[in-house]
């Protein structure tokens, strides 16, 4: 696997593949890779001739009191994991490559409506940073296919909408959430959990399953949100939200709707913020 840090080297490698008629898959990451990330590489590998991954901890998607500085940088381990999965090229740029005028003075993208709720409401400006960096990376790599995990469901929807709205010539593919045996969604932030917190963390997935079960029995979605939040609070979580939404646009569903729904939870356990979701169909 080749590792490059600058745009000319990245484009030269991709240009060589394109000259041979090869297709390009892309998996953008912030590094500290785990099995969930590796599954994205496998999906891209199965569907394209060449696979590019990026490792870039994007400063513009972190708020002033979030964990940008302590976000783990594990490039050597990431290179090994990507090589094992057959990744062809790792793009690991410096901040100045992505933001030549500085992160605070860059062109910024805003995807309206779908960013106004849930994560967007809890983390103002977060999705502007996500949309901006992903669009920049798409412009640099120019992939045929980009693969994103469903665990960050709202992020996935933001990127899908951005791609369609800007008429970007690529396909966005959603990959299933990978879980530990006890149901906890794999995440780089799981390593921050203490032993006791890790033992409690699967309650998030269990609560999502309970929300789906009770909705299927005819309970109103608004009541289920209250039940889920109370359940998490009793177990020591501090929920930011525990909601049921329409999967296509994250709008509140009409009363009585049972199709095309998703439950989403974000909650703090100790100092660690965890997110997860579950489709109901």
Q: Cite the active site residues.
A: 37
Burial class (CB in 10 A: 0-12, 13-18, 19+), 158: buried
| 117-120: Cβ within 8 A, 24+ apart | 117/250, 118/154, 118/241, 118/243, 118/245, 118/250, 118/264, 118/266, 119/154, 119/155, 119/266, 119/275, 120/154
DSSP state letter for 170: S
Residue 218 contacts residue 253 (beta carbons within 8 Å) = no
> Which of 143, 119, 96, 164 lies closest to 267 in space, CA to CA?
119
H or E, element range at 244:
strand 238-246
The DSSP string of 16-47 is HHHHTT--EEEEEE-S---HHHHHHHHHHHHH
Query: 85 by DSSP, 3-state: which?
Result: coil
């Amino acid at each position: 696997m080749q590792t490059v840090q600058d745009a000319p080297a990245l484009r030269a490698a991709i240009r060589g593949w394109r000259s041979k008629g090869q297709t390009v898959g892309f998996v953008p990451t912030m590094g500290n890779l785990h099995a969930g990330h590796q599954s994205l590489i496998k999906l891209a590998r199965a569907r394209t001739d060449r696979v590019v991954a990026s490792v870039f901890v994007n400063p513009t998607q972190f708020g002033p009191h979030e964990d940008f500085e302590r976000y783990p940088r594990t490039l050597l381990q990431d290179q090994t994991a990507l090589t094992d999965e057959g990744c062809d090229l790792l793009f690991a740029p410096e901040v100045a490559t992505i933001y030549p005028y500085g992160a605070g003075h860059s062109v910024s993208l805003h995807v309206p409506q779908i960013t106004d709720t849930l994560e967007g409401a809890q983390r103002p400006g977060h999705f502007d940073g996500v949309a901006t960096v992903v669009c920049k990376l798409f412009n640099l790599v120019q992939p045929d296919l980009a693969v994103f995990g469903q665990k960050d469901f709202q992020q996935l929807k933001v990127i899908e909408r951005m791609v369609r709205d800007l008429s970007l010539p690529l396909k966005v593919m959603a990959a299933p959430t990978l879980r530990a045996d006890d149901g906890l969604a794999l995440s780089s932030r799981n390593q921050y959990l203490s032993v006791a917190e890790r033992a409690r963390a699967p309650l998030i997935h269990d609560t999502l399953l309970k929300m789906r079960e009770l909705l299927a029995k005819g309970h109103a979605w608004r009541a289920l949100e209250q039940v889920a939040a109370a359940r998490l609070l009793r177990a020591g979580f501090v929920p930011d939200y525990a909601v049921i939404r329409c999967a296509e646009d994250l709008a509140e569903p009409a009363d009585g709707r049972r199709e095309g729904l998703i439950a989403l939870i974000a909650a703090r356990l100790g100092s660690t913020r965890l997110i997860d979701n579950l489709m109901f169909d």
